[in-house]
Structure 1
Amino acid sequence: MQSDEHTRLSLVLGLAGWVAGLACYVLIEAWQNAWLPDHLLVFASTACLAGMAMFLALTGPAPAGRVMPLAVGAGLVLGGAELWGALRFQNAEAYMAMVYPLLFGALAWLIATGFAAAHLTGQGGWRDYPALFSQSWRVVVNFVVSLVFVGLFWGLLGLSHLLLDIVGLDLMRLLTYFEVLPWVLSGTVLGLAMARVHASAEYISPYLVLRLLRMLSPIVLAVIAVFLVMLPVRGWDGLMQGFSPAATLMAFAAAGVTLVTVAVERSEFDEVKTPWMRSVTQALALTIPGLSALALWAVMLRVWQYSWTPQRLLAVTMACVLLVYGLSYLASVMIQRAWMARIRQANIWMALLVLAVSLAWFTPLFQPERISAQGQLSIAQNGGAADQIDLRELTKSWGNPGAQALSDIQAARPDLAEAIDLARQGRSKPAVDPATRAQRFVEVLPIYPSGRLDPADLSEIRPYLITKWLAACERTIAAGPGCALFVTQDGATGPRRAILFTRSGTNIVEAIHLERRAGKLGTAGATFSLDGPMRLDDRTLDALHRGEAKLVSREIQALDVGGRSIFAHN
């Protein structure tokens, strides 16, 4: 780039950065001082930040005059989408506290910026995959480099302040005398850094990052292969341990999508050439559907147990998108001929799908708060206990749909009036003394085949576990409470060894091994099934309450109940 062109670009982006910094300061002041209704502030903040960021990202590779209409249009569309979503809430701050406004807003901006860059610089328009691939990665790298430079700039100012402070000069006080100054200074430095990065495109390239990422493919594939081999050997119960396994599976599926995309590159000329790396890429592509399906199943287990929440809807959405990615890659690899070219074309359509899904979350087509609120209302209408209903979330986090569902629950379930009032006050149930809770637990806990339990026996068990088990007892089934204790070895002062069954959710029963040590009962390890994965349901509790459980003599002592054989393992 010629010197005068670089100077002109520096002036344009420096001024744009100055305006962006000033806008950030004004918007923060507007939020703090309520200059506008907060819903309008959501629109203004999103439109301004998205538009300015796109202008900074694309001006340089393309003339400012061509970038400006696209940046303004993208800002208005994204701002309108965020406003549409915020209208579900009386308080826009509660809306912005949700995860998805920022996540899907950022995804929509990144994809839209990539397509805009391809439209401005590619020979084939917005569907020009080489331009879409290279420019999307360049946008990310350029922003990272520029933001690092801004951090270094402020680090230098901090050191300068320390040096000048020795001679009695307070540099930071001078720079912060006007509150707006740090903002406009940061914006200007960011704009100038972006100008230098654009001018040095031949030196600051994403291709080094892409080549380094390729080196991770064999490692990721090896880890996934070990996981998939060991999963049926070790059992599927780990997938039932909440959101964490699903998040890990989705992270590896997303890593697989990224590494496959990096391997197929932007064109046939740039794709991986070595046979073994092509095989690694194929194998990695084939694992993505399995990981995504397992992640989806793990999340759905929580949904079936506890119903929908916006977070679970978000997880299901991400898992479904990754599953579609994986299926498109699977089809491309199975066809074999020109499979890398097919993946490149699939990536274009998948980017459009992700953009559409991201925007749909802000529209009436998909309202996570309403879906979640209706799920909680259904639980209440079916007789669910107060601890099974997310009353606090309905009150504080799910906007207008949550408030409406809470009113419907109050009308349908007068017995929940006290719990609803406490939730509206931001309080949980009044504190209960641990001894009282333990007393209540032993009163409602059925013990089979016979025996007695004293609250003092439970003094070494953590109070939160007693609370959890007591709540399980209240999730009754037709045959009795949602809990039961089967004594496998009795003692003079009470059960010496026992298995505690608790109903943690609808048709989900957990089994915990208890053992007496030093006169007190405590948890003593896991329980295992001799005849398949350890998945117990309401039939197990039903069989216990009907007296159908019995100890059997094998090489190890086991409990036969509900057609299952269970043993305790220390």
Structure 2
Amino acid sequence: MATDGTMAATARAADRVPNVFFTRLMVALIQAVGLYLLAEAATKPATWPATVPDLFTPLVMVVSLVPLLILLGAGQITRRPLALWILVATVIVAGLGYHAAARLQSSLPAIGMSLLLGSHFDLIYVAGGLFIAHTLVVDAIIERRWRPSYPRHFDTAWKQGVQAALTVVFVAVFWGVLYLGAGLFNLLKITFFERLIQHDWFAIPATTLAIAGAVHITDVQPALIRGARALALTLFSWLLPLLAVIVVGFLGSLPFLSLQPLWQTHFATRLLIMAAILLIFLINCCYQDGAVERTAIAAKRWAGTVGALALLPLVALAAWALGLRVGQYGWSVQRVVAAAFILALAVYTAGYVLAVVRAPNPRGAQWLRLLEITNHVSAHLVLILLLALLTPVADPARLMVADQMARLRAGTLPPEKLDLVALRFDGARWGQAAVESLRTATDSRWSDEQRESLHSAAAAVLIRKDRYAAHGDRPSTAMELLQYVTVYPAGRTLPAGFISAYMASGHVRDGNGCARGDAESCNAFLVRLQPDLPEAVIMQENGYSDALLYQPDEAGTWHLTGNLMLAPGCRSMRDALKNGQITPTPHVLPDLMAGGIRLTITPASNKCPE
């Protein structure tokens, strides 16, 4: 069998590397030391190298990813080619890490720790690229040619995939056992074990050693890998007929239905891309290494043929949906990434459809044989696309900012429709620069209201530290809060003592209202409720209907005295409040007292005159 031969070749390569287990053990310990030192450097107060962004992020990415290549490669290829491949991979990963740091304008400890925890998308993309590249490099070294045999590619890729899955499960269970042990000791009031496993100096080495152990055990037990792989492929392959029926039913319904419901979902592109990726995955589960005995079941062959042909309309619909969104709203980071996915899927689709055309008989020995070349070429294309997305060549943030600003300058995008939050937090350093320029930008086509609104919104977005309304970033001083508040009528200032009282109120301490630090604009309306009373203040967060009424007592101390429900979409009401044009009016309906609580009846209809 071809697979058995490749396994034997791998075993011989492993024998030529002395002390594979010792090598993996040392790599795991070195990685643990590196990760621990980086984690300590990023702990507040940050120390070198966490204070040098262009150095820290590349170090995090290299120490997190490159040792995994050594763990896998130590049992696959000999020492010299492995060292050369690791050197090349280190340079590439470090370069990508440098760009990841240079493109961001936030503090490095946050960047570095997010990468260390694996939550940063760059780390995921780089890890996926390294998985593909390692397969291509290892197979090329073993067979000494640029395009190794497809059974070799199949064996290496699926072996690494199964190893990765089993390693993740092993490490998860490993930590589950540790926490179970800590819980058992806690029953006896012994907390030492729980405190021990929570220390970085224990947790990091324990994890890296567990990973190394899992990789080594799965590597020296080829029968385990073959059994797990055969079981997984058999199970997954039987999902292909089901998915083929579902996709054909979906595509067959389109001529009788309008496509409008599909476009209105706002996630059609994503869903179609996922369906195409799953089809390709299941087709490969059926095809495996191309051996006839592995694809002898007619149902799977027919499903693979139908699935390969169904890729064409699926990918075409995904491209169409993406084109409609780009035409309406321009490019975003997510749409640039989706375009890269669609480009890669288009190559897969062309190759798979051509494979069906070249071998139209599903029962023939050459069924989908062209799939092998397609997979090899597409793997290289995916690596090229990843390098483009992770470098300035096609950085999604740079492309998004350039497109949105071009649409704004061309007049196709009104300033009030510009997503400043996306520019600021998705556009990296390019978006930061763009929002800063918009704080003072002018255009003869804009009205005074559009210009003022854009300037105030840009200034508010630049102050924000988090797009998700983090309470920890709310203003802590009265002077800082004033940067969020716009006072009306124009030219007026807030009464003395009001801001301090507002900051000290329980409403603000709960992280609500204008003190959340995430509002694009907060409004303070100065109003006079009665001619003989001092002015009151209505505080409203822009875009929200609820507002708060503050009044001073006889001693001049401000208190929260009531709530209002405004209609933020009503222009006449907003203009009247801004200009102080309000008229005290008695209630149409009486208030009700119930258990000492005053209940106010709101009229059933309170529509905006517009």
Normalised TM-score (structure 1): 0.71
Cα contact 1:243–1:299 (8 A) shared by 2:
no
Q: Give, as a single letter, the amino acid of the residue that structure 2 aligns with 1:352.
A: H
Structure 1 residue aligned with 2:246: 223
Q: Distance in 2 between matches of 1:400 and 1:109?
A: 26
Instruction: Rate the CA distance shift 1:374–1:167 in 2: closer, same or farther, 3 A.
Output: closer
Aligned partner (choices 409, 419, 433) of residue 404 of structure 1: 433
Aligned partner (choices 69, 81, 87) of residue 72 of structure 1: 87
Q: Distance in 2 between matches of 1:435 and 1:149?
A: 56
Deviations 1:466-519 (A, max 9, x none): xxxxxxxxxxxxxxxxxxxxxxxxxxxxxxxxxxxxxxxxxxxxxxxxxxxx98
Between 1:103-112 and 1:355-364, the stretch displaced more is 103-112
Structure 2 residue aligned with 1:548: none
Cα contact 1:214–1:262 (8 A) shared by 2:
yes
Cα contact 1:51–1:72 (8 A) shared by 2:
no
Q: Give, as a single letter, the amino acid of the residue that structure 2 aligns with 1:399.
A: A
Q: Distance in 1 between matches of 2:15 and 2:303?
A: 47
Structure 2 residue aligned with 1:437: 568
Q: Give, as a single letter, the amino acid of the residue that structure 2 aligns with 1:424.
A: L
Q: Give, as a single letter, the amino acid of the residue that structure 2 aligns with 1:235.
A: S
Structure 1 residue aligned with 2:128: 107
Deviations 1:260-314 (A, max 9, x none): 2222222334641233322211110011121111112212222111111111111
Q: Distance in 2 between matches of 1:50 and 1:438?
A: 51
Q: In structure 1, the residue corresponding to 2:173 is in which secondary structure?
A: helix
Instruction: Rate the CA distance shift 1:94–1:398 in 2: closer, same or farther, 3 A.
Output: farther
Q: Distance in 2 between matches of 1:74 and 1:269?
A: 37
Structure 2 residue aligned with 1:257: 280
1:28 matches 2:39: yes
1:305 matches 2:334: no
1:13 matches 2:144: no
Cα contact 2:16–2:78 (8 A) shared by 1:
no
Structure 2 residue aligned with 1:555: none
Structure 2 residue aligned with 1:146: 167
Cα contact 1:47–1:78 (8 A) shared by 2:
yes
Structure 2 residue aligned with 1:363: 391
Q: Distance in 1 between matches of 2:605 and 2:243?
A: 47
Cα contact 1:239–1:246 (8 A) shared by 2:
no
CA RMSD of aligned residues (A): 3.2
Q: Distance in 2 between matches of 1:383 and 1:217?
A: 45
C-alpha deviation, 1:120, in angstroms = 4.1
Deviations 1:222-264 (A, max 9, x none): 1101111112323101232254221111111001111122222
Q: Distance in 2 between matches of 1:332 and 1:249?
A: 22
Query: Structure 2 matches for 1:116-135, cutoff 5 A?
Result: 116-122=137-143, 124=145, 127-135=148-156
Structure 1 residue aligned with 2:520: 428
Structure 2 residue aligned with 1:137: 158
Q: Distance in 1 between matches of 2:34 and 2:306?
A: 48
Between 1:149-158 and 1:107-116, the stretch displaced more is 149-158
Q: Distance in 2 between matches of 1:349 and 1:4?
A: 32
Query: Structure 2 matches for 1:163-174, cutoff 5 A?
Result: 163-165=184-186, 169-173=190-194
C-alpha deviation, 1:419, in angstroms = 2.0
Q: Give, as a single letter, the amino acid of the residue that structure 2 aligns with 1:14.
A: L
Q: Give, as a single letter, the amino acid of the residue that structure 1 aligns with 2:441.
A: A
Higher relative contact order (CA 8 A, sep 6+): 1
Deviations 1:431-490 (A, max 9, x none): 25464335338999xxxxxxxxxxxxxxxxxxxxxxxxxxxxxxxxxxxxxxxxxxxxxx
Aligned partner (choices 418, 427, 436) of residue 389 of structure 1: 418
Cα contact 1:292–1:322 (8 A) shared by 2:
yes
Q: Give, as a single letter, the amino acid of the residue that structure 1 aligns with 2:431.
A: G
Q: Distance in 2 between matches of 1:437 and 1:157?
A: 54
Cα contact 1:127–1:348 (8 A) shared by 2:
no
Q: Distance in 1 between matches of 2:186 and 2:604?
A: 67
Instruction: Rate the CA distance shift 1:122–1:259 in 2: closer, same or farther, 3 A.
Output: farther
C-alpha deviation, 1:348, in angstroms = 0.2
1:194 matches 2:231: no
Q: Distance in 2 between matches of 1:208 and 1:441?
A: 68
Q: In structure 2, the residue corresponding to 1:260 is in which secondary structure?
A: helix
Q: Distance in 2 between matches of 1:260 and 1:411?
A: 53
Q: Distance in 2 between matches of 1:175 and 1:94?
A: 27
Query: Structure 2 matches for 1:533-544, cutoff 5 A?
Result: none
Structure 2 residue aligned with 1:235: 258
Aligned partner (choices 384, 408, 414) of residue 380 of structure 1: 408
Query: Structure 2 matches for 1:238-387, cutoff 5 A?
Result: 238-269=261-292, 271-336=294-359, 338-381=366-409, 382=411, 384-387=413-416
Q: Distance in 2 between matches of 1:126 and 1:78?
A: 24
Q: Distance in 2 between matches of 1:425 and 1:330?
A: 52
Between 1:268-277 and 1:363-372, the stretch displaced more is 268-277
Between 1:237-246 and 1:281-290, the stretch displaced more is 237-246
Deviations 1:519-540 (A, max 9, x none): 8799xxxxxxxxxxxxxxxxxx
Instruction: Rate the CA distance shift 1:5–1:345 in 2: closer, same or farther, 3 A.
Output: closer
Q: In structure 1, the residue corresponding to 2:570 is in which secondary structure?
A: helix
Q: Give, as a single letter, the amino acid of the residue that structure 1 aligns with 2:70.
A: F
Q: Distance in 1 between matches of 2:103 and 2:208?
A: 33
Between 1:374-383 and 1:89-98, the stretch displaced more is 89-98
Cα contact 1:19–1:184 (8 A) shared by 2:
no
Structure 2 residue aligned with 1:86: 101
Query: Structure 2 matches for 1:539-554, cutoff 5 A?
Result: none
Identity %: 21
C-alpha deviation, 1:72, in angstroms = 3.2
Q: Give, as a single letter, the amino acid of the residue that structure 1 aligns with 2:402.
A: Q
Q: Distance in 1 between matches of 2:266 and 2:47?
A: 37
Deviations 1:131-185 (A, max 9, x none): 2221111112112212322222222233333444555644525634853122112
Q: Distance in 2 between matches of 1:159 and 1:85?
A: 38
Normalised TM-score (structure 2): 0.67
Cα contact 2:17–2:78 (8 A) shared by 1:
no
Q: Give, as a single letter, the amino acid of the residue that structure 2 aligns with 1:336.
A: A
Instruction: Rate the CA distance shift 1:339–1:87 in 2: closer, same or farther, 3 A.
Output: farther
Deviations 1:181-223 (A, max 9, x none): 2211221122122111111111222222112111110011011
Deviations 1:317-340 (A, max 9, x none): 112211221122112211227352
Q: Distance in 1 between matches of 2:403 and 2:32?
A: 43
Q: Distance in 2 between matches of 1:196 and 1:87?
A: 39
Q: In structure 1, the residue corresponding to 2:407 is in which secondary structure?
A: helix
Structure 2 residue aligned with 1:509: none
Q: Distance in 2 between matches of 1:438 and 1:367?
A: 37
Q: Give, as a single letter, the amino acid of the residue that structure 1 aligns with 2:567.
A: T
Q: Distance in 2 between matches of 1:4 and 1:333?
A: 42
Instruction: Rate the CA distance shift 1:208–1:521 in 2: closer, same or farther, 3 A.
Output: farther
Between 1:127-136 and 1:223-232, the stretch displaced more is 127-136
Q: Give, as a single letter, the amino acid of the residue that structure 2 aligns with 1:392.
A: V
